[in-house]
Amino acid sequence: MLRNTTLYPILLVHGLFGFERIGTFELFHDVRQALKIMGVQVFVPHLSAIHDNEVRGGQLLCQIDAVLRGTGAKKVNLIGHSQGALAARYAAALAPHKVASVTSVSGPNHGSELADYLRKALIPGKLPETVARKVATVFCDWLCLLSGTAALPQHALAALNALTTEGVGDFNDKYPQGLPQSWGGQGAEQVNEVRYYSWSGIVPSINLQKPDPVQDICRTLSQYFMTEPSQNDGFVGRYSSHLGTVIRSDYPFDHLRSLGRTAGKHAGAVDSVQLYVEHALRLQATGL
């Protein structure tokens, strides 16, 4: 007997270089299992690992149709991590009648300062850009081969350009649903009968007792942020992540740890997976 479940299925939408499964490793494993225990129908769509927001959003729309056909549901709840949030926003903007809610988890809804830095460092048409594109493409091809998504198109520079402040700004001009009217504010709770939510974190202070290599990488990357120094998760700025109802944007975890449980405990630590469980209950209470 299902209990504490949502009315509509949940799709966990991965971001840049994301995937559903490689061998026995699942990107959303902990989150997916926790939601399944609740009785929630959970799916992870197959999207290009590296491409722009609209291409990935179009792929997501096809996946939504497949889920609706397979489950008989009228709508889906979309939870997008990182660039996955932009794909989810695109799908909801084009087909609001198929989407009950969009939730952005560490999503670059106003662009990423890290992407800005990388774009400036790569001179268009010059050797560094060419090398970077080839390296990213080779890595992505290898990733897609292992994850069984090699047939999907990939475009490294299109992905990078789509994540810059300018690229996301152009995207937002076309798909503004749920965006705050002022920097650091909250967006509309509901647009075209689609509810919008977001949460994100900032890189916590160094844990001297139990080092975390992933967190150390994100802490290093966080130094390239100018607009939101010390207020970012290493990939996305705190206020840049805001969309719809902002649940919280300063959880003590980095960009990658918002996908699952942290490696160790530190002051103010939270269980990232529990946030997804709590959100499923929130959606249920809202009738979604």
Q: What is the pLDDT, as a whole number, of residue 150?
A: 54
**Domain hosting residue 161, numbered range:** 10-285
Q: How many domains does the chain have?
A: 1
Higher pLDDT among residues 153 and 123, named by residue:
153
* Assigned domain for 125 exists: yes
CB 77 within 8 A of CB 42: no
CA–CA gap between residue 171 and residue 174 (Å, rounded) = 5
**Distances 73 to 6, 69, 120, 165 between C-alpha atoms, Å:** 11, 8, 45, 36
pLDDT digits (tens, 9 = 90+) for 236-255: 999 999 999 999 999 999 88
* Assigned domain for 5 exists: no
Question: Residue 149 — very low, low, confident or very high, per pLDDT cuts 50/70/90?
Answer: low
* Assigned domain for 52 exists: yes
CATH number (domain holding residue 54): 3.40.50.1820
pLDDT digits (tens, 9 = 90+) for 62-71: 999 999 999 9
CA–CA gap between residue 85 and residue 200 (Å, rounded) = 12
- The mean pLDDT of 216-242, rounded to a whole number, is 90
Instruction: Using a pLDDT cut of 70, give the percent of the chain over it.
Output: 78
Higher pLDDT among residues 146 and 203, named by residue:
203
pTM: 0.87
CB 238 within 8 A of CB 250: yes
Q: What is the pLDDT, as a whole number, of residue 21?
A: 43
* Assigned domain for 143 exists: yes
CA–CA gap between residue 227 and residue 240 (Å, rounded) = 10
* Assigned domain for 135 exists: yes
CA–CA gap between residue 102 and residue 59 (Å, rounded) = 16
Q: What is the pLDDT, as a whole number, of residue 20?
A: 45
Q: What is the pLDDT, as a whole number, of residue 142?
A: 39
Higher pLDDT among residues 258 and 185, named by residue:
185
Whether 175 shows a pLDDT value over 50: the answer reads yes
- The mean pLDDT of 28-39, rounded to a whole number, is 91
User: Which residues carry out catalysis?
Assistant: 82, 233, 255
Q: Coil, strand, or helix at residue 124?
A: coil
- The mean pLDDT of 143-164, rounded to a whole number, is 68
* Assigned domain for 2 exists: no
* Assigned domain for 227 exists: yes
DSSP string, 221-266: HGGG-SSSTTSB-SSSBTGGG--SEEEEEEES--TGGGGS--SS--
Q: Coil, strand, or helix at residue 59?
A: helix
* Assigned domain for 103 exists: yes
